[in-house]
Amino acid sequence: MMATKSMIVAGLAVVFAFFQTINADGVKGSIQLNSGVFEKILRKHRAVLVKFDETYPYGEKQDAFKEVAAATLSQDDVLVAEVQVQDYGEKENADLAERFGVTKEDFPVYFLFLSGDAENPKKFLGNAKNADDVKKFLIRESGLWLGLPSCLEDYDKRVKEFLKASGDKRPDILASVEEEASKETDDSKKRSADIYVKTMKKIVEKGTDFVDSEITRVEKLKDGKVSDKKKEQLNERLNILTSFQLLQKDEL
């Protein structure tokens, strides 16, 4: 009887390990790193976002990581990677964790390595359960376009042009963007384009401080008692405003 129970337990352990392995290797858009290839990989990419974590991570924080990795698929200059640190057996990658001052109590920990510099990474200090927070960190620190939900790459490029221009040139750029927005036929894209136009108009009227104050106002509205549909609309607006904010900081 005892032997049978032992066999069942052993069998379940094998099955569990099998599915955990599938989970570990199944993050689309991410690769696994170890000390043998760590710096070789860093040297080949403009920006490498590395997550240090336990072996076989799961849960909300891992779901957020998967979302971040998926968002980088179309951005050739960004690589997302994972270092799984083993605290038993051979303690794989414990050397890398020690090198960057990471302990298991901190997991997951994100570092952004830029231009192959392995000695001075930028550390993410936000909420690891929030994929958008991680993406904002990546966008802000790398200067690369990634795009939050509802953001449009073509319009973000026009925003960059708009913010870089002197005050007397901005109305002309706004008029051009407004014309482009009026030609949008896709409903979702049209809705986003209109938010870009309205935000540019307010900046022309009130200056660039409008963006920060509007983000604060929209966040308060979103946290209040609003319908799911209204919350979705506020999130769309907030993401585009955040894009303005990040691009605005680039121009400072």
CA distance 177 to 199: 11
Over residues 48-103, the pLDDT tens digits come to: 999 999 999 999 999 999 999 998 988 889 999 999 999 888 899 999 999 999 99
Domain with CATH 3.40.30.10 in the chain: 2-142
Rounded to 5 degrees, φ, ψ at 36 are -70, -30
242 closest CA partner among 153, 151, 145:
151
Single-letter amino acid, residue 141 = E
- In this prediction, residue 252 carries a pLDDT of 55
Chain position carrying tokens 């929030």 = 130
The parts of the chain modelled with pLDDT lower than 70 are 1-26, 250-252
- Please count the other Cβ atoms lying within 10 Å of the Cβ belonging to residue 37: 12
Domain with CATH 1.20.1150.12 in the chain: 153-250
pLDDT of residue 11: 45
Mean pLDDT, the chain, integer: 88
Locus of tokens 């405003």: 241
CATH of domain 153-250: 1.20.1150.12
Q: Is 116 left (phi over 0), alpha (psi -120 to 50) or beta?
A: left
Which of 19, 246, 210, 45 has its CA nearest to residue 132? 246
pLDDT tens figures, 21-31: 334 456 899 99
pTM of the model: 0.72
Domain 2-142, CATH: 3.40.30.10
Omega before residue 57 within 30° of 0, cis: no
